[in-house]
Amino acid sequence: MSDPALSLRGVSKRFGRTLALDGAELHVQPGTIHALLGENGAGKSTLMRIAFGELRADDGVVALAGTNREWSSSADAIAVGIGMVHQHFTLVPALTVAENVALGDRGFWGGYTPARAAERVRKIGTQTGLVLDPTARVADLSVGAQQRLEIVKALARNARVLILDEPTAVLSPRESAELYGWLREFVAGGGTGILITHKLREALTLADDVTVLRHGRTVLQSAVSEVTEASVVTALLGDARGPRVGSARRSPRGMRTDAPVVELRRVSMKDARGVLRLREATVAVCAGEILGVAGIEGAGQFDLLRILAGRRAPSSGTVTLPSRIGFVPEDRLRDAIVPTMSPAENVALHDARHFRGHMPWRELESEAVAIIAEYDVRPTDSATIGALSGGNQQKFVLGRELRGSPQLLVVENPTRGLDIRAAAFVLDRIRSAQDSGCAVIVYSSDLDELLTLAERMLVCHAGEVREVPVEMEAIGRAMVGIT
């Protein structure tokens, strides 16, 4: 067998008191797609940041094509052909596509001209099929296009080993399929791909090999052909019995009435530039019902959900909403929490408008403690919400929004970026809210998730909202506008 394209041996890394990596191993054969799996905090991202030169290992060896390497920064890793696409994009929104690609080129007199930079983007586009308009401003690109740009950036520096950190977390199913199709071609052409993901099924259909990390140790290294979904889940979760994954849809036990608690009638929404984002949407949701919403990026669901959550007023149409609404937005770091503040302050955030006079901090503290206990937020004594992992932040936000039993819960991408255990927990809580008579509206870019949760489905396409049967096929067709 040839030397691995990238090899990490016995890598350890300590942050303060926590040992993030404990002798982790990863060996990636050239010309393969390698899936790196693990729960939140298992050390996947840390390991890849070490491979990419962003962090230094305390111990262990990084080898590229059989040669031991030491990076002093990611520039060294880029120079020898490693590229990384981070989960959170590293683009400059105000610059154009070509300028973003040219950023980071070496040399002061490097001969940058707009024409040459644009030419390079076009050339990569024709060679790889990752077509982008070099003159478009990044701020105007869709999320899928931004992701393509991140890959083009890496390819422009001749990356042969490409690390993708949760690449499909923000993509619609169609965009994900496109990305994976491209990745296969890249690998067929001699490139090597490393895929960090939470989506087990995707990883197992796409990858050639799989490595599983748990608590900073490598617990499984195998060809995908030799593992089963069940054996990977066992490796991910350890001996403890895993939670139900994707448990089947079931009929709700709770009370339900046929009188809708939420009603939108012929609701339209224009954005600041006067472009119609949502056209005459009519929606009704009853208590104890879960309504699923799907749509590709920019199809109108963003505005629809904010109108349903009472966060935005429509341009026209009538809206009937209950008084108590819980809302879990998809960008929780920006829209749901203040990361620098304490749990109690983040509890207070929820009704910030309604407080008068003095803040009842003592009660808020005990409410925060109650949410942290009931929703299994760990660690339990975090001084700020920002210090929690994404999954724990999500559990906290959900706990806060479900406090005081709302009549309506609006949730966007409830399990994005969460590990299996946290995701199962969140879905469970959404179901129990439903059981207690709460109307639930869920948007997700993960269709499997919608299929397990929703009893009725709405699909947005180009601002039109349609109800469709709860079937993969029907939803997928409606999302791309086939009627």
Partner 1 sequence: MSRARAWREALPVGAVAGALLLVAVVVLVSAGADLRTALSALWIGSLGSRYALLSATLVRATPLILLGLSVTLAFRAGVLNIGAEGQFIAGASAGGAVALATAAVLPGPVSLLVALTTGVVAGGVWAAVAAELRRRFGVLEVISTLMLNFIALYGVSYLVHGPLQEPTHVYPQSATLPMVARLPFVFDGQRLHVGFILAVLLGLALWYVFARTAAGFRIRITGAGAAAAASAGAVDTARVSFLAFIASGAIAGGAGAVEVTGVTYTLFERISPGYGYSAIAVALLARLHPVAVIGAGVFFGALEAGAAAMQRDAGVPSQFASILEALAILGVLAVDRLRARRQEAAP
Q: Given candidates 106, 273, 353, 362, which one binds partner 1 under the rule CB under 8 A?
A: 353
Smallest distance, Å, CB 434 to partner 1? 22
Min dist CB 69 to partner 1, Å, is 22
Give yes or no for residue 409 binding partner 1 (CB under 8 A). no
Interface with partner 1: number of residues (CB under 8 A): 34
Quick one: which of 29, 96, 389, 413 contacts partner 1 (CB under 8 A)?
Answer: 389
Cα–Cα distance list, 180 to 38, 173, 276, 343, 372 (Å) = 20, 10, 32, 39, 38
CA atoms within 13 A on the CB side of 278: 30
Residue 281 makes CB contacts below 8 A (sequence gap 6+) with 264, 266, 267, 268, 300, 304, 317, 465
Given the complex with partner 1, which of 236 and 336 has the nearer CB atom? 336
Residue 410 vs residues 107, 194, 290: alpha-carbon distances, Å: 50, 35, 10
Min. distance of Cβ 388 from partner 1 in angstroms? 10
Q: Which of residues 178-217 bind partner 1 (CB under 8 A)?
A: none
205 vs 380 by CB, closer to partner 1: 380
Backbone φ, ψ for residue 216 (5° rounding):
80, 0
Using rule CB under 8 A, residue 241 touches partner 1: no
By CB under 8 A, tell whether 139 contacts partner 1. no
Stretch 294-323: interaction string toward partner 1, x if CB under 8 A: -----------------x------------
> Any contact of residue 341 with partner 1 (CB under 8 A)?
yes
Query: Which residue type is seen at 156?
Result: A
Q: Is 260 in the site for partner 1 (CB under 8 A)?
A: no
| 244 touches partner 1 (CB under 8 A) | no
Cα separation of 71 and 59, whole Å? 13
* 88 touching partner 1, by CB under 8 A: no
Query: What's the CA dihedral at 459, 461, 463, 466 to 10 degrees?
Result: -40
Measured between alpha carbons, how far is 167 from 164 in angstroms, rounded to an integer?
6
Note whether 449 and 431 are within 8 A (CB).
no
Query: DSSP state, 224?
Result: G
Judged by CB under 8 A, the stretch of 13-21, 280-288, 315-323, 406-414 that binds partner 1 is 13-21
Contact status, residue 159 vs residue 51, Cβ threshold 8 Å: no
Name the segment binding partner 1 (CB under 8 A); options: 72-80, 182-190, 316-324, 347-355: 347-355
The residues, ordered by sequence, that sit 6+ positions from 251 with a Cβ below 8 Å of its Cβ are none
Q: Work out the end-to-end distance of the chain between its first and last CA atoms, rounded to an integer number of angstroms.
A: 51
Candidates 65, 80, 245, 349: give the one binding partner 1 (CB under 8 A).
349
| Closer to partner 1 by Cβ: residue 111 or 357 | 357
Is residue 358 part of the contact set for partner 1 (CB under 8 A)?
yes
Residue 249 Cβ vs partner 1, minimum distance, rounded to whole Å: 30
Rounded Cα–Cα distance for residues 95 and 112 (Å): 15
Interacting residue ranges for partner 1, rule: CB under 8 A: 15-16, 18, 20, 41, 46, 311, 327, 329, 334-341, 345, 348-353, 355-359, 361, 383, 386-387, 389
